Amino acid sequence: MINIISKTKYAYIFSGILTLLCIASLLVWGLKLGIDFTGGTLMEVQFENNLPNNLEVEENLKNLNLKSLSLQATGNSTILFRYVPEDDKTNQEVLKTLKEKYPQSKELRTDYANSTISKELKSKSLWSIFWAVAGIMVYIAWAFRKVSRPVPSWKYGMGAIIALVHDILITTGVFSILGHFYGIEIGIPFVAALLTILGFSVHDTIVVYDRTRENLLRSSSKETFPEVVNRSLNETLVRSINTSLTVIITLLAIYIFGGESIKYFSLALLIGVTFGTYSSIFIASALLVTSYKLQINHKT
Amino acid sequence: MNVRQKLRLKFGAVIILAILAGLISYPRAVSKIPKLYDFFNKPKINLGLDLQGGIHLEYKADLSQVDLAKQKEAMQAMQDAVERKINAFGVAEPVIYTTKSGDEQRLIVELAGIRDINEAKKRIGEMPFLEFKEEKETAVEKIPEDELNKFNETAKKKAEDVLKKALAGEDFAKLAKENSEDPGSKEKGGEYDFIKKGMFVPEYEAVIFDKGLEDGEIYKELVKTQFGWHIIKRIEVRGEGDPAKSPEGDSGASNQEFKSAHILIAKKVQPEPKIEVTATSLTGKNLKSASVGFQNQGLTEPVIDLEFDEEGTKLFAEITKRNIGKRVAILIDGEIITNPTVNSEIPNGKAQITGSYTTQEANDLVKRLNEGALPVPIGNPINQQSVEASLGKISLEKSLKAGIIGMVLVIIFMLLFYRFLGLVASFSLLIYSALMISIFKLSGFSPWQITLTLPGIAGFVLSIGMAVDANILIFERTKEEIKKGRDILSAIEEGFKRAWTSIRDGNMSSIITAFILIEMGTGFVKGFAVTLIIGVIVSMFTAVVITRTILRFVMGKWLENKLWLIGVRK
């Protein structure tokens, strides 16, 4: 049996530093928000074979005076255009100009949202994350209502939530760094990924807690609480790693082969699932033990 | 029936289910048997816009002119009109619906598999917004008679004073600047440059032409007009002819012009009752049909005949009845097209638009009206997502490839790690995938058709990984029980029993988040969440029912001495 609980200190230090770094990145660089949240236009145009230089294209679009125009070349000789105006007329003018200069250019995708929509999406996203966390917390407290000794059931809920906030912070932090250095934007798909990570991270934590619950109900009185938790962790370790591996395998397949549109969506999931597994093994149960120890110290 | 027979029956049912689901998801397996192939090839997966190309448009309806109580009706009418328009355009299965966001009413139009996205958008944009407006007098507060008279007497006195000064030789321009109440000429010393005869009120022109005034002379009396009292100075008259005396009575024959200056002391009159044009509840939603007609047997310009539906006929009769002698305006896209005076009530539900149309213009307008006239203006879309068909195809191919690769890798992993159990799990994973595809295909026959989107495929692939999780939980538990010394069959039972709470609790949290995702309601998220929920439920079913039945059926005493097959070392 591996004594995982005895390594708690290192896990706390590692996670603490990582979380602080992510918070720092979020505070300093923030997140690069996509048009879903800021409003504006995103247009993907394909150029047959000879992809023109970004500067040249920008020069050609100069007299349209597009506010905050940015170009980004992607695979398959396409360029992503981003700009603030979000009306049909502007888009048509851009396409017309492109067609004149590059007769072979072809509009692949045009998304735009005006500020009403983007504001709405922003508040919807924040609320949905709030409700997901609240819903999960209530569910865990309910599912573990029968376990109250030696640690009360709401502490299981708290432990799962702390682990989950940890996973979410790290994923968001990584995207803040990616946004700063590689211009990767976050939109609605990112929020969907976050919510899925929420579900998955809790799923993992629950499996471990579930085993702890079962072992507590059946354990002999000789075993201490930290020992029971550690035994439960060991018993579920292979399962935790194997499950995460299968999910990570499929996510990697999507990330590598799934194409541009869902690449960063799967990357967010990949980061979240990986840290979700880590936190359910090293953080969530450790928190139970830590709070148990605090409880005992308090009593004596 | 004993336990063994029951199990055999169950196993048979699983096999039949597997074969059916397999055929529905991959009908090409029986392509050699045309009848069977046709039968299983009927259900099709409904692909989302992002996979087959298409456009998602969101319009904000301008309901500022519509009563709160009638907004829902107006939105429904708008939806119907747009639907009619799209159908005329020939798009297969458009999805058109209205949503409410805060106080805003929105119309969402989703057109899948459309070839020319911009053309479709243009067609919707050009839909005419037809409305009828009537005149409405609004009462204006009256000024008491004596107050009015008093004011006007003072004004007249002032005018007389100024006239005296002007006649006494004071500078006319200066007097005008100081006293005139005509904003058009005041600053120019009361002067009007050359103006054609016939443009000014007759009292004014009579002074210039008929009172024997010389150029540069000031008329000796005050001249009263509808505006007030004028002091008039003739400056110059030029040109020949007098329109009043010309044979045609046409002012164009005369080129007589005059230059003059005046000082106006305005009088106050009772304010005129204000006439406002207000919307009626008769709009494009009540239009039954439009057609081109010709007045006077086609000799003159074409007119457009409108025919209303039942409700429209009633409304139009009411409107014409209460507006006899007044004007009723017909507006298209906010512009008055025709504004005739109503002579009598029109009970037959027919109206006519006369305007200076060419036959071509009239035909175009009629076509637009017939293809769907809007009850409220539609404006520009506030949100658009368009995907070109070729991009959709690439996305579909790539994500399918990713899904297949992911599944193969998972199967390899399971076989390596769990050997015989892995084989069983892989088999139920295949059944799981076939079931998922079948559900997608068969949902088309139910009112809850599921649309497969790109994030949906991602959700599906992710759910493969999660489906395996239930199996792993069970297997790990079973292995543990075997190690503890249980025999294989009771170990399996124990494994299922003990793993179930974990599976249930863990999946509940996924379902909670997925439902919240659906509540968020945007296309991307919805497609993902729906597949995730279905995936989680189906995966629980496959793990607990299918894997369990297969395991019970194939495992037995024969494995006791070959425990390495299920990865257990004793």
pLDDT in tens, A10-37: 999 999 999 999 999 999 998 888 888 8
pLDDT of residue A9: 87
| Chain centroid, CA A16 distance in Å | 18
Q: Do B155 and B86 reside in the same domain of the chain?
A: no
Question: Mean of the pLDDT values across residues A137-157?
Answer: 77
Spatial neighbors of B107 by CB under 8 A, at least 6 apart, are B58, B59, B61, B75, B78, B79, B82, B96, B97, B98, B378
> Is B502's Cβ below 8 Å from some Cβ in A?
yes
Dist. CA B555–CA B551, nearest whole Å: 6
Q: Each residue of B206-223: pLDDT tens digit?
A: 888 887 778 888 888 888
Angle at A117 between CA A260 and CA B58, to 5 degrees: 80
Measured CA to CA in angstroms, residue B456 lies from A257, A266, B281, B392, B532 at distances of: 16, 12, 44, 14, 8
What would the mean pLDDT of B408-416 be, rounded to a whole number?
90
Question: Tokens representing A17?
Answer: 């530093």
Is A5-34+117-299 in CATH node 1.20.1640.10?
yes
Q: Do B440 and B553 share a domain, yes or no?
A: yes
B255 and B296 in a single domain? The answer is no
Domain at B305, CATH number? 3.30.1360.200
Of B382, B472, B509, the CB nearest to A136: B509
Work out the average pLDDT over A149-162.
82
Nearest CA in chain B to A115: B382
Query: Do B510 and A256 lie within an 8 Å CB cutoff?
Result: no
Measure CB to CB from residue A243 to each of B462, B469, B510 and give the nearest one.
B469
Please indicate, yes or no, whether residues B74 and B38 belong to a single structural domain of this protein: no
Cα→Cα distances A85→A44, A93, A115, A123, Å? 15, 12, 10, 22
Domain with CATH 1.20.1640.10 in chain A: 5-34+117-299
* Rounded distance between C-alpha atoms, residue A262 and residue A107, angstroms: 19
Please tell me if residue B494 touches chain A, with a CB cutoff of 8 Å: no
Asked whether residue B427 carries a pLDDT value surpassing 50, the answer given is: yes
- Chain A residue numbers touching B507 (CB-CB < 8 A): 203
Q: Say if the Cβ atoms of B524 and A113 lie within 8 Å.
A: no
Q: Which residues of chain A lie closer than 8 angstroms to B380, CB-CB?
A: 87-89
| Predicted local distance difference test score (pLDDT) of residue B567 | 65
Task: Please list every residue in chain B whose beta carbon sits closer than 8 Å to the beta carbon of residue A136.
Answer: 509, 512-513
* Cβ contact, residue pair A206, B506, below 8 Å: yes
Under an 8 A CB cutoff, do B390 and A108 touch? yes
Domain match, B153 and B209 both: yes
Distance from CA of A29 to the nearest CA of B (A): 26
Residue B253: pLDDT band (50, 70, 90) is low
Q: Indicate the pLDDT class of residue A196, thresholds 50, 70 and 90.
A: confident
Q: Please, which residues bridge with residue B47 across strands?
A: B452
Is residue B1 over pLDDT 80? no
Looking at the domain assignment, is residue B365 inside a domain? yes
Q: Using a CB-CB distance cutoff of 8 angstroms, which residues of chain B are in contact with residue A206?
A: 502, 505-506, 509
Contact A261 B50 (CB under 8 A): yes
Do B278 and B339 fall within a single domain? yes
**Domain stop point among B245, B266, B287:** B266
* B261 and B280 fall within a common domain: no
In eight-state DSSP terms, residue B288 is E
- Cβ of A249 and B465 within 8 Å? yes
Give the contacts of A133 (CB within 8 A, at least 6 positions apart).
A161, A164, A165, A198
| B492 and chain A in contact, CB less than 8 A | no
Residues written for chain A: 300
Last residue of a domain, one of B370, B398, B432: B370
Helix ranges, B168-274 (H): 172-179, 202-210
Condensed to tens digits (0 to 9), the pLDDT of residues B132-169 reads 888 777 766 777 888 888 888 888 888 888 888 888 88
> Residue B249 — pLDDT band, cuts 50, 70, 90?
very low
Residue range B410-415: average pLDDT? 90
Q: What is the per-residue pLDDT for B295?
A: 65
If asked whether residues B546 and B429 sit together in one domain, one would say yes
**Do B43 and B68 fall within a single domain?**
no
CB contact under 8 A, B528 and A106: no
B144-150, long-range: CB < 8 A, 24+ apart? B148/B268, B148/B269, B148/B270
Look at the domain A40-113 and name its fold. Answer: Alpha-Beta Plaits (3.30.70)
Q: Are residues B83 and B43 in the same domain?
A: no
Say whether pLDDT at B248 is over 50: no
Q: Which residues of A touch B402 (CB under 8 A)?
A: 253-254, 256-259
Residue of B101, B511, B517 with shortest CB distance to A128? B517
User: Which residues of chain B from 288 to 317 reach within 8 Å of chain A, CB to CB?
Assistant: none
Check which CATH number belongs to the domain holding B442 and give it: 1.20.1640.10
Residue B303 and residue B355: Cα distance in Å, rounded?
7
Of A215-224, B370-379, B441-450, which has the strongest mean pLDDT? Answer: B441-450
Tell me, yes or no, whether B174 and B250 share the same domain: yes
CB B317 within 8 A of CB B345: yes
Residue numbers of the domain that contains B113: 54-123
Q: What is the number of H-type helices and E-type strands within chain A?
A: 10, 4
Stretch(es) of chain A classified as CATH 3.30.70.3400: 40-113
Residue A137 in contact with residue A157, Cβ under 8 Å? yes
Sequential DSSP letters for A7-42? GHHHHHHHHHHHHHHHHHHHHHT---B-HHHH-EEE
Q: Which two tokens stand for residue B561?
A: 């001495």
Question: Does residue A150 have a cis bond before it (omega within 30 degrees)?
Answer: yes
**pLDDT score recorded for residue A72:** 81
Task: For residue B307, give the 3-state DSSP assignment.
Answer: strand
| Closest residue by Cα to residue A168 from A279, A247, A36 | A279
Per residue in B275-331, pLDDT (tens digit) is: 777 778 888 888 888 888 776 655 567 788 888 888 888 888 888 888 888 888 888
A·B CB contacts under 8 A:
213
Q: At residue B260, does pLDDT exceed 80?
A: yes
Distance, in angstroms, between B449 CA and closest chain A CA? 22
Whether complex ipTM tops 0.85:
no
Q: Are residues B442 and B397 located together in one domain of the fold? A: yes
Q: Which residue has the tokens 């070959």?
A: B562
How many structural domains does chain B have?
A: 4
pTM of the model: 0.72
